[in-house]
């Protein structure tokens, strides 16, 4: 395999339908970096899909602070080498680093497709992966203040996984982002991460003040900064509704308790009056 920026690697899995455990491909090279593929024949925590991941091997041998950005795709081939099923990313590239050393799909392909005629010739699955390495950094010393350029934002190493997950789940989150100054962009990203952390806390641990501030921050992040945060607004609305419901339930419980006390008091007053009437008769 040539050490070029973009290359492909193909490997075969014999007796595929009999496989249960995860299968690792041989290591291959692309863009001066080593890679391997993990295949889950019965799915990675899913029951009806094949799972595929592109991984970085030998992490312990890499220098502290290493990172590489790459785009990749998978294809399942028939015995003639024709692409029968292709799996591509919704985002242009992914960042591989020590905290996030593999990317891929838990639901890469429905298992029922593998049973179609001509797909598993002689019970053999052929997997092809294409990798294009866009950036490679090999840093020996990385301090806690080091940052990565991730999707146009300077992100501390400690937040790489969080921000990577954010863009994977919501690829268009910064599609309409307005500020250009890097310091301003960093400030808004930190504010967004802080808001996400607040709203991800257990509901009972979120104070009314935090919930109120979250609404103001969300408006600023969407209207001023230009983040697309419909999913976060939905979460905030749900939390606010649950908080109002909890407040209503507490008020209802309090009123119910007071009503019971009043009913008991009225009952005692009624009983006292009846006793007074009996005494007068006697």
- The CA-based diameter of the chain, rounded to the nearest angstrom, is 115
Structure confidence at residue 50 (pLDDT): 92
**CATH number, position 45:** 2.60.210.10
CA torsion, ordered 54, 56, 57, 58, to nearest 10 deg: -170
Q: How many domains does the chain have?
A: 2
DSSP state at residue 233: H
What Å distances lie between residue 72 and 54, 63, 92, 196, 279, CA to CA? 8, 23, 9, 29, 96
C-alpha span between 70 and 110 (Å, rounded): 25
Q: Is residue 60 domain-shared with residue 151, that is, in the same domain?
A: no
Calculate ∠ Cα 65-100-4, nearest 5°. 75
Picking from 108, 140, 172, the residue at the C-terminal end of a domain is 140
Which pairing describes strands 28-30 and 33-40: parallel, antiparallel, or unpaired?
antiparallel
C-alpha span between 104 and 29 (Å, rounded): 18
Q: Is residue 114 domain-shared with residue 150, that is, in the same domain?
A: no
Structure confidence at residue 256 (pLDDT): 74
Picking from 113, 140, 167, the residue at the C-terminal end of a domain is 140
Q: Give the pLDDT of the chain (282 residues) as one tens digit per residue.
A: 344 466 889 999 999 888 889 999 999 998 888 999 999 999 898 888 999 999 999 988 888 778 888 999 999 988 777 778 889 887 778 889 887 889 999 999 998 888 776 678 888 889 999 999 988 876 554 455 567 778 888 888 778 778 888 988 898 999 999 999 988 998 999 999 999 999 998 888 888 888 889 999 999 999 999 999 999 999 999 998 888 776 666 676 777 788 788 888 888 888 877 777 777 776
C-alpha span between 33 and 5 (Å, rounded): 9
Q: Is residue 33 domain-shared with residue 129, that is, in the same domain?
A: yes
Q: Is residue 92 domain-shared with residue 160, that is, in the same domain?
A: no
Do residues 67 and 148 make contact, with C-beta atoms less than 8 angstroms apart?
Answer: yes
Picking from 95, 117, 140, the residue at the C-terminal end of a domain is 140
Structure confidence at residue 2 (pLDDT): 40
Structure confidence at residue 150 (pLDDT): 80
Which pairing describes strands 147-150 and 94-97: parallel, antiparallel, or unpaired?
unpaired
C-alpha span between 126 and 86 (Å, rounded): 12
Q: Which two tokens stand for residue 165?
A: 């997950």
Q: Is residue 208 domain-shared with residue 278, that is, in the same domain?
A: yes
Query: Which residues span the domain enclosing 209?
Result: 144-282
Q: Is 184 helix (H, G, I), strand (E, B) or coil?
A: helix
The number of residues making up the chain comes to 282
Q: Is residue 160 domain-shared with residue 262, that is, in the same domain?
A: yes
């Amino acid at each position: 395999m040539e050490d070029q920026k973009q290359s492909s690697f193909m490997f075969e899995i014999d007796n595929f339908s009999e496989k249960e455990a995860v299968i690792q491909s041989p290591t291959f090279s692309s863009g001066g970096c080593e890679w391997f593929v993990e295949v889950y024949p019965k799915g990675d925590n899913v029951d009806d899909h094949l799972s595929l991941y592109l991984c970085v091997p030998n992490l312990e041998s890499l220098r502290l602070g290493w990172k590489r950005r790459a785009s990749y795709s998978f294809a399942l081939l028939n015995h003639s080498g024709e692409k029968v099923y292709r799996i591509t990313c919704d985002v242009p590239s992914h960042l591989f680093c020590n905290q996030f050393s593999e990317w891929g799909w838990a639901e890469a392909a429905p298992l029922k497709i593998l049973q179609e005629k001509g797909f598993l010739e002689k019970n053999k699955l052929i997997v092809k992966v294409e990798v294009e390495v866009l950036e490679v950094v090999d840093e020996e010393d990385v301090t806690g203040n080091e940052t990565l350029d991730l999707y146009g934002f300077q992100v501390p190493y400690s937040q790489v996984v969080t921000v990577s997950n954010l863009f994977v789940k919501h690829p268009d989150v910064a599609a309409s982002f307005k500020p250009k100054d890097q310091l301003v962009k960093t400030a808004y990203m930190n504010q967004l991460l802080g808001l996400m952390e607040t709203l991800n806390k257990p509901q009972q641990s979120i104070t009314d003040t935090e919930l109120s501030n979250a609404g103001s921050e969300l408006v600023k992040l969407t209207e001023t900064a230009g983040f697309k945060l419909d999913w976060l607004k939905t979460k905030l609305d749900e939390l606010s509704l649950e908080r109002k419901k909890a407040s209503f339930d507490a008020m209802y419980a309090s009123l119910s308790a007071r009503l019971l006390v009043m009913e008991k008091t009225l009952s005692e007053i009624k009983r006292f009056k009846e006793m007074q009437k009996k005494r007068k008769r006697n």
